[in-house]
Amino acid sequence: MNTWMAPADPPEETYIAVFRCLFSAAEALELKFDFSADNRAQLYLDGRRIADGPERGAPERWYAACVSQNVPAGEHVLTARVMCLDPEIRRRRCAYAQMTVRRGFFIDDASGLLSDWMCQIETGCRFETPFPDWGSFPRVHVESGHNHGILEGRGGVWEKPVFFTDPRPLHLPDLPAMRYEKTVPVKKTEELFYFPEYVCAWQVIRLSGRGTVEIRWAETPYLTPEIDRKNLKGMKGKRDGKYFIAEPDVFEVDGSFTWHDYWWHAGHYVQIKTEGNVRCDIEFFRTGYPYPETAPRSQLEKMALETLRACSFETYMDCPYYEQLMYIGDSRLEARCTYLLTGDHRLPAKALRMLSLSQTPEGALNAQYPSCSDQKIPSFMTIWLLMLSDYFALHGNDALVEELRPRAEKLLAYLEKHTTGGLPDVPGWGFVDWCENWAHGTPPGGTINSVISLFYLLALQKTAEMDLAPGLEEKAKALARTIRSTFYDKEKRLYALDPGKQYFSEHPQVLALLALGDTSVIPGLESADLTPCSIYFSSYYLEACRLFGLDDLLEKRLDRWRALENEGLTTFPEEFRNPRSDCHAWSSHILSVLPEKP
């Protein structure tokens, strides 16, 4: 049990609490302490930012952050600014990847200097649901009555916090500190700034005068002011439009003050609109996982690397502008890219563990985790097993693999339980790929389909190599026979999507090559009459092309990425055509098939 603190009478909805400790150092010293927060905190020493944390976790694995700070002799103030999101996700409708147990702040200080704590709720700011980036943190509206000295421990009414014991264990960080490096955008106009490279960045905003400031972040401006509010798509052209659709952060200015972000923003563009006599100066600090710097060998590789970096934080993310969620399907591809770039495998290891912690008593995994939403995607459950086997191939039976074995066995038992006629028939969203003629990414023809069956076969084959459970090789051989007899069309020499053999696409042919080694499907792949894999599933398409020497098909598919170079993009998007997100993790997977030389 650890002792936490919280405001005495906090509101139910989202708020910010600031905790203050005044202390005196008789001589210069190194101040060391651990802290945690629910949901998230930034710490300031004498008004200067010194830490952010804790590392993103879940109720099953919550983290503490470790701070070591040199402090000169004299009087000091330490403040912890804690973002306390509404625990009811349906009410807050944002920040789906940020979970909560009980809102508050924890600190463990061995020196005994940090003992006299006070707190106050940061009044004068209210929070709005973000749009169109629905998964990010809420927008803020800072009113003229805001206590601008709160981070320096000044102003307002400071009160004693209440203390409570919390049973959650606190884990030391799994990852290194995220980047916090100053970056400077290009000034396009008086109100528009552009980052030539896609960034995730914290802001420090200095405001003075009297009036109002609106600050919008965007991946790109649109050609028209219209947007499909359901699918979050608009006309982007070559990313040279003039309409910014995002809802802004708003600041009412009456005097001078500095605002520190409580969460970072993402994109290429920052639009700053002012009314009245207001001056606004912003410093930007880039964040993200500290990958080693790699000189790209081609424009394609540069774009892929930029995409991966923008989607890697304290977890992997599908996209930094929208959900900021760690999906299994995306994360396997991100992890494989990480393995290519560096021997630092801490982020793939954390991803495997965190995703496994979503496991239900029955054995199913959530499609994304940490997450406040409950979403099951059968294909992603099998892909988690493949992700585990990728890690095993590099690390063998290390401590993480041994930790995850029981969860993998439980998942295999769950998948085996949910079969019909020997084929997987798992409840959940049947997402496979974003194909134009598929409803919500689900193949036509019913819940039993060849793609999920072949993924399951691959999972059985790979986990059999790990000696994960007895009899997996025999189960894989039996499943392979059932797949052939159910889905293979002898006349077309192709695997259908459905048992009725009415629907065909590239997807089962690609997986048949990978799982069955069935080269009879190659002429059908070369005919170009099949529903093509989109940008995500093209990872498996390109892997099959590389393994089976289909160089012409590989180059033709890479041409679709090359075409994106002419769309005004610096990262790769969610889909080849009409994407919602301009920076989407799963599209960086081409790093594994690019030639050695540009």
Q: What is the pLDDT of residues 56-72, one digit of tens each?
A: 999 999 999 999 999 99
Query: Cα dihedral sign for 213, 217, 223, 229?
Result: negative
| Fold of the CATH domain 2-122+151-158 | Jelly Rolls (2.60.120)
CATH of the domain spanning 181-286: 2.60.120.260
Q: Which DSSP category does 152 fall into?
A: G
Retrieve residue 596's tokens: 């050695």
Residue type, 314: E
Decide: residue 351, CB within 10 A, 0-12 exposed, 13-18 middle, 19+ buried. buried
- Rounded Cα gap, residues 581 and 515, in angstroms: 31
The mean per-residue pLDDT over the stretch 203-217 comes to: 98
250-301 pLDDT, tens per residue? 999 999 999 999 999 999 999 999 999 999 999 999 999 999 998 899 999 9
- Residue-level pLDDT at 527: 87
Q: Which DSSP category does 182 fall into?
A: E
The mean per-residue pLDDT over the stretch 118-125 comes to: 96
27-51 pLDDT, tens per residue? 999 999 999 999 999 999 999 999 9
- Residue-level pLDDT at 90: 85
- Residue-level pLDDT at 361: 98
The b/e string for 521-546 (b: 16+ C-beta within 10 A; e otherwise) is bbebbeeeebbbbbbbbbbbbbbbbe
- With 60 as the cut, is the pLDDT of residue 476 above it? yes
180-199 pLDDT, tens per residue? 999 999 999 999 999 999 99
Domain ranges of the chain: 2-122+151-158, 181-286, 315-417
Mapped onto helix, strand or coil, the DSSP state of residue 316 is strand
- With 60 as the cut, is the pLDDT of residue 597 above it? no
pLDDT grade for 111, boundaries at 50, 70 and 90: confident
Phi-psi sector, 568: left (phi>0), alpha (psi -120 to 50), beta: left
Give Rg (Cα) of the chain: 26
- Residue-level pLDDT at 468: 87
- Residue-level pLDDT at 596: 58
Whose tokens are 């004693």? That residue is 160
Q: Out of 207-211, 369-373, 479-483, 525-529, which region has the weakest mean confidence (pLDDT)?
A: 525-529
- Residue-level pLDDT at 598: 35
Contact by Cβ (8 Å): 530, 156 = no
The mean per-residue pLDDT over the stretch 528-541 comes to: 95
Contact by Cβ (8 Å): 379, 455 = yes
- Residue-level pLDDT at 147: 95
Retrieve residue 488's tokens: 């293979």
Residue 171, strand partner residues: 63
Mapped onto helix, strand or coil, the DSSP state of residue 339 is helix
Query: Between the CA of residue 162 and those of 3, 83, 538, what are the distances in Å?
Result: 10, 17, 54
Distance from the Cα of residue 525 to its chain's centroid: 33
Average pLDDT along the chain: 96
Same fold, 2-122+151-158 and 181-286: yes
